[in-house]
Amino acid sequence: MTIRLRLTLWYTALLGATLILFSVLVYALLAANLWTQVRQNVVRQADDIVGLLTQQLLRTQQLIVIRDSGFGFPELDLFTSGAGAQVINADGTVYMRSENLGEMVVPNYRSALDQIRQSKSHIYYTKNPKNIPFLVYSKPLVVNDFVLGAVQIVQPIDSVENTLNQVSRYLILGTALSLVLAAIIGALIAHRALAPIGAITTTAGGITRTRDLGQRLEITDQASEVGQLAATFNDMLDRIQKLFDTQERLIADVSHELRTPLTSMQGNIELLQRMVAAEHSPVQAGGNKGAVLRETLSEVEQETNRMTKMINDLLLLAQADSGALQLQWAPVEMDTLLLEVFRQTKRMADLRKGPGALDVRLGHEDQALVWGDQERLRQLLLNLTDNAIKYTPEGGTITLSLTNEEGWVRISVRDTGIGIQADNQAQIFDRFYRTDKARSRELGGSGLGLSIVQWIAQAHKGRITVESATSKGSTFTLWLPESHNQSSNQSAPNPTWAATNPLQFNSAYSQSPADLPK
């Protein structure tokens, strides 16, 4: 059953119940009122007549003729009201009748005799042969404690019955009409109220059919419940679309990133195959076969290393996104860690660019303690220094420094390298983003290093900033909240918070603690 139908039925049923109750109440009150009036009327009339008769009988005792059958009554002209009346004696003989009774014999008038003889009044309902309803009220006529007979008031009640019948007809008709109207209005209201839900269903159906996640619902009344539902639905679509786009971009990026090393490896393997074939062919391959072999194998090795690094980085980010990456929280002496990173960077620089090609320096270094995962923080710093080595030409300088400022530990990695254009600075933390793809690839980069740096910084409730000028160099600064607690009972920041932010592939983390220094 549709909600619309259910709402209409409920609405109509409730209104119907209320109307029926109201009608029954009105009818019952009216009927009780009218009947009371009729009864009071007949009782009053009977009392009047009995009173007058009694007075006359007492006054004109000498006029009473004793007959065989009982008493004779004086002539009376009392019956002028709308009701008929008759006087009967205790045997049921009718002595007097009002003229308006005409020829009509009051049906069953004798049925009251038993009560009358016991000096009790009696009332009953009857119909005459013309089917006109009457109320017959009998009031005993008692003179000197002797029951002479009774006065019977014969009140036609067709007007009361007609009134009640008419009222009941109107009430039934009114109720029925109101119900029909209520059903129609209820259906219209339900239709209007639920129309936006219909729009949501249509849009959702359209999205399913056309796979177009770009469709959105029109929100007419944001304050209403349905408006809020539509807004939530649109928000959800935004998130799904972002997620979907991100997934698509990720797949495209990963496929693209893997294709280049695989093509290169394929080329090298073909070269090796040709060399093996030439060995067995009559025409020998010439000259420096060993050198070519070494170079080819080294290229294959390089590509394999690059792929392995990329897959490891991707895995780490995927774990970070899903919240599966657990950090090992402990107090970390950042000055000691920075010293270790400095030494490692120096070795790396010498190895890659040649001894002394880059001047790796340790600048100002305060003592600082932070609460975090030492190995992840080391990875963060090494990623920064690795970039600094990659993007700083020979003769350049790399300076690492640590300052302790108002509860924040500030570690900067400054280089005098190629720098980053201002336009690109916001994007470098996006996954797979590289300002110069070819150069980055040549240097062994995959565009994931800074995404990892940012994730680790934010997982430590810190943040990473960059200042850079092309051809002058870049400074990456890591801000971490200082830990004053030497023991390890400090509560760990929630390491899985990134899982609540699963859409950040190719978009810099937008979430950062509000109270960070600017």
Residue with tokens 């209403």: 224
Cβ–Cβ < 8 Å for 292, 469: no
Of the candidate spans 84-92, 327-335, 340-348, 430-438, the one that interacts with ligand ADP by CB under 6 A turns out to be 430-438
- Smallest gap from Cβ 220 to ligand ADP, in A, equals 45
C-alpha distances (whole Å) from 197 to each of 219, 229, 444, 508 are 11, 9, 53, 36
| 447 or 493: CB nearest ligand ADP | 447
115-134 residues near ligand ADP, rule: CB under 6 A: none
Q: What is the DSSP letter of 482?
A: B
C-alpha distances (whole Å) from 224 to each of 2, 190, 195, 233, 369 are 21, 14, 13, 14, 52
Q: Nearest to residue 360, comparing CAs of 334, 376, 381, 379?
A: 381
297: part of which helix (H) or strand (E)? helix 289-322
Size of the site for ligand ADP (CB under 6 A): 22
C-alpha distances (whole Å) from 383 to each of 168, 344, 359 are 91, 12, 18
HEC string of 455-475 equals: HHHHHCCCEEEEEEECCCEEE
| 296 or 440: CB nearest ligand ADP | 440
- Smallest gap from Cβ 448 to ligand ADP, in A, equals 6
For the record, the structure tokens of 227 come out as 């408006």
- Smallest gap from Cβ 430 to ligand ADP, in A, equals 8
Residue length of the chain: 518
| 196 or 462: CB nearest ligand ADP | 462
Of the candidate spans 199-207, 261-269, 275-283, 447-455, the one that interacts with ligand ADP by CB under 6 A turns out to be 447-455
- Smallest gap from Cβ 300 to ligand ADP, in A, equals 20
Among 84, 196, 396, 445, binds ligand ADP (CB under 6 A): 445
Residue 261 interacting with ligand ADP (CB under 6 A): no
| 156 or 444: CB nearest ligand ADP | 444
Among 98, 446, 454, 506, binds ligand ADP (CB under 6 A): 446
Here's the x/- map for ligand ADP, 397-416, by CB under 6 A: it reads as ------------------x-
- Smallest gap from Cβ 310 to ligand ADP, in A, equals 9
- Smallest gap from Cβ 427 to ligand ADP, in A, equals 8
Residue 314 interacting with ligand ADP (CB under 6 A): no
For the record, the structure tokens of 79 come out as 């019956």
| 149 or 417: CB nearest ligand ADP | 417
Residue 396 interacting with ligand ADP (CB under 6 A): no
Q: Nearest to residue 85, comparing CAs of 125, 120, 127, 50?
A: 50
| 45 or 474: CB nearest ligand ADP | 474
Residue 449 interacting with ligand ADP (CB under 6 A): yes
Residue 474 interacting with ligand ADP (CB under 6 A): yes
- Smallest gap from Cβ 370 to ligand ADP, in A, equals 22
- Smallest gap from Cβ 420 to ligand ADP, in A, equals 5
Of the candidate spans 213-221, 297-305, 440-448, 501-509, the one that interacts with ligand ADP by CB under 6 A turns out to be 440-448
| 300 or 450: CB nearest ligand ADP | 450
C-alpha distances (whole Å) from 121 to each of 88, 115, 149, 315 are 13, 7, 11, 105
The dihedral region occupied by 70, where left means phi > 0, alpha psi between -120 and 50, and beta the remainder, is: left
Here's the x/- map for ligand ADP, 346-385, by CB under 6 A: it reads as ----------------------------------------
Residue 458 interacting with ligand ADP (CB under 6 A): no
Of the candidate spans 204-212, 323-331, 337-345, 386-394, the one that interacts with ligand ADP by CB under 6 A turns out to be 386-394
| 321 or 415: CB nearest ligand ADP | 415
| 122 or 431: CB nearest ligand ADP | 431
Cβ–Cβ < 8 Å for 317, 451: yes
Taking the mean position of all CA atoms in its chain, how far away is CA 185?
A: 27
- Smallest gap from Cβ 210 to ligand ADP, in A, equals 36
473-481 sheet: strands from edge to edge: 359-365, 397-405, 408-415, 473-481, 463-469
Among 388, 402, 464, 478, binds ligand ADP (CB under 6 A): 388
213: CB partners within 8 A, 6+ apart: 207, 237, 240, 241, 244
Residue 447 interacting with ligand ADP (CB under 6 A): yes
N- to C-terminal Cα distance for the chain? 58
Among 345, 435, 454, 507, binds ligand ADP (CB under 6 A): 435
SS3 label, residue 336: helix
Of the candidate spans 63-71, 139-147, 418-426, 509-517, the one that interacts with ligand ADP by CB under 6 A turns out to be 418-426
Residue 428 interacting with ligand ADP (CB under 6 A): yes
Residue 417 interacting with ligand ADP (CB under 6 A): yes
| 86 or 468: CB nearest ligand ADP | 468
SS3 label, residue 31: helix
HEC string of 63-92 equals: HCCECCCCECCCCCCCCCCCCEEEEEECCC
Among 8, 387, 483, 507, binds ligand ADP (CB under 6 A): 387
Q: How many CB atoms lie within 10 A of CB 397?
A: 15
C-alpha distances (whole Å) from 17 to each of 140, 296, 302 are 47, 91, 84
Q: What is d(CA 181, CA 196) in angstroms, rounded to the nearest whole number?
A: 24
Binding site for ligand ADP (CB under 6 A): 387-388, 391, 415, 417-420, 428, 433-436, 440, 445-451, 474
